Each structure stands twice: as C-alpha cells, then as structure tokens.
Amino acid sequence: MSCYLAVDLGAESGRLILGTISEGKLEMREIHRFANGMLNINGQYHWNIGSLYAEIVKGIEQCVNVEGVVPESIGIDTWGVDYGLLAEDGSLMGLPFAYRDPRTTGLIEEFCSLMPKEEIYRRTGNLFASYNTLFQLFAAKKHHPKMVNAASDLLFIPDLLAYFLTGVKATEFSFATTSQLYNRSTNSWDSELFATLGISTSIMQNVVSAGTKIGTLNKTVASRIGGHAIPVVAVATHDTASAIAAIPFTSSRSAFISSGTWSLMGVETDKVIITDEALAKSFTNEGGIEGRNYLLKNLMGLWVLQQTRRSIKDSGTEYDYPTLVHLAQKAESFTAFVDIDHASFLNPEDMCKAIADYCVATNQPVPQTHGQLARVVIESLALKYRETFDDIQAIAPAEDIMITGGGINNKLLCQLTANACRVNVTAVLPEGTAAGNLLTQAWGMGGLESVDEIRSVAAASSIPVTYYPTEAQQWNDAYARYRSIVAAMK
C-alpha cells in the first residue's frame, strides 16, 4: 500500500487529498480544505499566495502529525497562466496578479501589431486570451517596468509554491504550454516572443516532465513534521492536464470535458495541431503527461453559475449547489440563452445583472426567478459544449464525451450536455484532477509503470455514469436560436 498527497488548488478553494493505492485501486480522502479567492486591492485582483502556502503547510502537518501518514511524495496542481516574480535574493516581488485582473484589456490587439497573430499561433499553438501569461507580461512591462526589469525569476503559481516548500525552481511542461510563451516546435521558451516583450528568457525556468522529482521539503517545513524530508514531485501542474491524465478513455475517438470553474473541452492527440482551421475555430494546444497534446477550448464553465449563486446570496438568499440545480430542473426550458464566454461574464460585480443585461441586449425575456437564472446558465453551457463539439468534429472526429471533475455532480448539466451534443456522455471521477495528481506522483516515484497503468487504476477506482441523449428535435431548434443570439452579440 502506497500513499501520496495531492495539493489541488482552484479559484474558489484548495484541498489536500491523501491518496492510497492498493490492489490496483486508488482511494482518496480529503484531509484539509480551505477557501481561496481573488483579493481586490484598489481595483486590482491578486492571489494571496502567502495564505495559500500557509494552508498547504497546515495540510501537510495534518497528514503527518494528526493522520499519522508520511506520504511518499507531494504534488501540486493549480489553474493556469498566473505567475509571481522573484528578486535576485529569491524574495517574492509582490502578490501575483490574478488572471481576471482587467489590466490586460485591449492588449492582444496591441501586441499583435508587433507580431502577427498567425505567427504567434504558429509558434505556440495557443489560443488568444487576454489572461494568457504573454499578455500579462506585456501589461507588466507597460505598467510596472522597473519590477519586471529587476526580476531574477518568473515562477508560475505551482512552481512558486513548490519553491517555497523546497527552494528548487522548475516549471513543468503542461503549465509551460498554457502561457503562450512556449514554442511547441522547438520545445523551449520562445526567444522571439520574449524579445518582442523586451524581457530576457533568463527569468524562465528549466522545463521538466510530469513525474519528475524536483526536491524535498525544506528544513523549516520538515521540522514541523518530525524531520521528514518528503519529496515534491512535479505532477501535471496545470489542473486540466492532471484531470485528463486520469480519464480512463474507452476509445481513441472520445472527446473530454474537464468540468470545474473552467470547462476545458477537446481531444487528446499524438502531436500538436497548428493549422489555419484550428486557429479559425479558436482551438488551443496544451501539453500533457508524457508529452501528449490536448487540442481544446477553454470555456468559462461553471464560473457563471458560481457567480450567479454568489449574486443571489448577496441579494439575501443563500442556496447550496444541489438546491440551486433542483430549482433549475423545475424551471421552464429554453426561455433565454447567453454566451457563457462573452466578455461581460468574465468578472462582473453582479452576475445576475450581467445575465439580465445580456438578455435585454439580445431581446430575450429576463429571468424572473432564481431557478430560471440557473436554468439559463446551465442550458447555455450545454449549448456551448454543442458548439465546441461540432468544431471538434471538423478537425478530430469524436464519437462520445467523457466528463471529469466537480461538474459531474451537476447531473442536470450532464444530461443536458448529452441532449445538446446528441451523443452519449459518460461521467467519471468527480475528483479527476486530484486523481491525476496522485497517480502521476505514483508513476514518478516508481509505483506505476505507464500512463496506461495510470488510466487502468483510474478506471478500477471509479463507477462511470452514462447519460443518453433525448429530445433531439427540441435541442436542435434551441441550438439554432442560441447560435443566432450569440452571433448578434459578436
């Protein structure tokens, strides 16, 4: 029996999950959970990296000192793109910005006047999003040039936390490929992009493969757990890559959805797909375990529902997610649709108002009840999946969809996704990211032999639930309406 400890950080919360592999199955147990969220400091959005680190250390202490388990290793995964800067003495130069900070607004067009979009895509294979590290650095160079020029190192969020724990600086491959700074042809930081930014590539770290042991807990942390210098392993540190690593695909023609605050929808491919069609259809390429590639789209996902719930709470009524989804299930279908990825939903002060404003702008009825609001969001997300699935079909045909992550607990969304996409949808591993994190550690530490074995253990450790499409004509009609509404707002 082997035990590993996953640090799984999301935009709303963080968890430390203890994983035990025995007789070919993975058992997971959450041993520490804590809140996360952006700090709004004078209109700028940051991550409280010090608090995250303190909670991670608290979780490690809980594991060893209270649970009595010394794990074989620790691995960290987080959301993508965000970073911190270190000074020459190794100290952190301010709180890391959060990807929803508005400082990058309008900078895609400005940067692309210096290097054409097609050339950037050819080099990186990444879709253009204002929150990508490329445009965050462009903003930093414009607004904080002295800080950028004085920086000795750039560490992405999981790198930064691993550095705090071990003193070792490294970047894992999957995370590097989210940044729009990594050349997928040369497998190196793109010197031309950095030259255009006016920043030296020397601030970037060596890129390591998932499963690489990067160091051990420093003496300060080890002294709090009986001196145990536990290894820290670079898992697929981008949470999406960890989640996909554990999906037990039953076919090479299955699409995937990693469903959480963001929804990442795409297909696993043997090589990077950088074509005019992929760019035209807004696909991004992200790296995965064992150098695999994921051709996917980053969709706003459950963020809009999460923020709708928060806005309802701010107005005086609080629901847990199951209750809100139940209200949505009872609400009337197809009353209005929104484009989940519209810029107005990226980080509004009041999501309910943002939805109402969108409906007014598109001559649709404004949702009048909390159930109607949630129904509009969930149906719109399912239709966004249909739009994306149709685009996938044009490049890498898929026959069904496998969903992993916390979103599979929303059974209404799973069923409506099957209805909208007109294919079977199989939900596996609600803790898919943590499972991928833990199993990649086991692989890196020699407990598992291959990615195939990772997925075999994942398959043996979960009970899949398949949703079958229904109401085909109603959903086809709804999709046609949705497409016309979305087109009117572009």
Q: Are residues 125 and 210 part of one domain? A: yes
Label residue 1 by pLDDT band (50, 70, 90). Answer: confident
Domain-embedded: residue 439: no
The whole-number pLDDT of residue 80 equals 95
Domain-embedded: residue 264: yes
Label residue 214 by pLDDT band (50, 70, 90). Answer: very high
**116 vs 279: CA distance, rounded Å:** 13
Domain limit, last residue, from 189, 219, 238? 238
Residue 254 near residue 389 (C-beta atoms within 8 A): no
The whole-number pLDDT of residue 270 equals 87
Averaged pLDDT for residues 201-218? 98
Domain-embedded: residue 434: no
Q: What's the CATH code of the domain at 254?
A: 3.30.420.40
Q: Are residues 253 and 208 part of one domain? A: no
Q: Residue 250 above 90 pLDDT?
A: no
Burial class from Cβ neighbours inside 10 Å (0-12, 13-18, 19+) for residue 407 reads: buried
Q: Are residues 257 and 217 part of one domain? A: no
Question: What is the total count of domains within the chain?
Answer: 2
Domain-embedded: residue 440: no
Question: Can you give the residue range of the structural domain that contains 416?
Answer: 248-428+449-489
Q: Are residues 276 and 157 part of one domain? A: no
Domain-embedded: residue 287: yes
Q: Are residues 415 and 277 part of one domain? A: yes
DSSP letter at 66?
A: I
Q: Are residues 281 and 198 part of one domain? A: no
The whole-number pLDDT of residue 251 equals 82
**301 vs 79: CA distance, rounded Å:** 13
The whole-number pLDDT of residue 12 equals 87
Backbone angles phi, psi at 404, to 5 degrees: -130, 165
* Relative orientation angle of helices 370-395 and 303-314, to the nearest 10 degrees: 170
Domain limit, last residue, from 219, 238, 257? 238
Q: Are residues 456 and 423 part of one domain? A: yes
First-to-last CA distance in the chain? 54
Averaged pLDDT for residues 466-480? 97
Q: Are residues 271 and 415 part of one domain? A: yes
Domain-embedded: residue 411: yes
Q: What are the DSSP calls for 92-127, one per residue?
A: B-SPPBPTT-GGGTTHHHHHHTTS-HHHHHHHH---
Label residue 29 by pLDDT band (50, 70, 90). Answer: very high
Q: Are residues 144 and 46 part of one domain? A: yes
Averaged pLDDT for residues 343-360? 96
Q: Are residues 223 and 188 part of one domain? A: yes
* Relative orientation angle of helices 411-421 and 321-330, to the nearest 10 degrees: 50
pLDDT digits (tens, 9 = 90+) for 447-460: 999 999 999 999 99
**CA dihedral of residues 71, 460, 77, 232 (deg, nearest 10):** 30
Residues marked active site are found at 239
Token digits of residue 269:
């491919």
**112 vs 284: CA distance, rounded Å:** 17
Token digits of residue 88:
């020459």
Q: What's the chain's average pLDDT?
A: 96
Domain-embedded: residue 437: no
pLDDT digits (tens, 9 = 90+) for 42-99: 999 999 999 999 999 999 999 999 999 999 999 999 999 999 999 999 999 999 999 9
The whole-number pLDDT of residue 252 equals 83
pLDDT digits (tens, 9 = 90+) for 400-412: 999 999 899 999 9
Q: Are residues 365 and 271 part of one domain? A: yes
Domain limit, last residue, from 238, 258, 282? 238
3-state secondary structure 142-210: HHCHHHHHHCCEEEEHHHHHHHHHHCCCCEEHHHHCCCCCEECCCCEECHHHHHHHCCCHHHCCCEECC
Domain-embedded: residue 304: yes
- Can you name the residues that pair with 85 across neighbouring β-strands? 154
- The count of other CB atoms within 10 Å of the CB of residue 421 is 27
Q: Are residues 226 and 351 part of one domain? A: no
